[in-house]
Amino acid sequence: MEARNDRIQLRIQPEVKRLLWEAVAASHTTLSDLVSQAAQARAVEILTERDRIALSPKAAQTFADAL
């Protein structure tokens, strides 16, 4: 396993911090792992959405006809 040396500092509201620590205790993980996993999952969602094109059936047909 590769060492994790990069750091990110966050400014969060006290209630968010309490919520995160409660989740850490409930999941028996570390705060770093919890935040890292959540951030990574959200980043994948965002990038997947960015790369996806959603068209209505009519728009899809217009697009196909233009090809």
Question: One digit per residue, pLDDT tens: the chain, 67 residues?
Answer: 677 789 999 999 999 999 999 999 999 999 999 999 999 999 999 999 887 788 889 988 998 899 8
Compute the distance between CA of residue 44 and CA of residue 42 in angstroms, rounded to an integer: 5
Helices 31-51 & 14-27 angle (0-180, nearest 10)? 100
User: Exposure of 24 by Cβ count < 10 A (0-12 exposed, 13-18 middle, 19+ buried)?
Assistant: middle
Encoded tokens for 27: 């999941």
Candidates 27, 35, 45; CA nearest to 7 is 35
- 13-30 pLDDT per residue, tens: 999 999 999 999 999 999
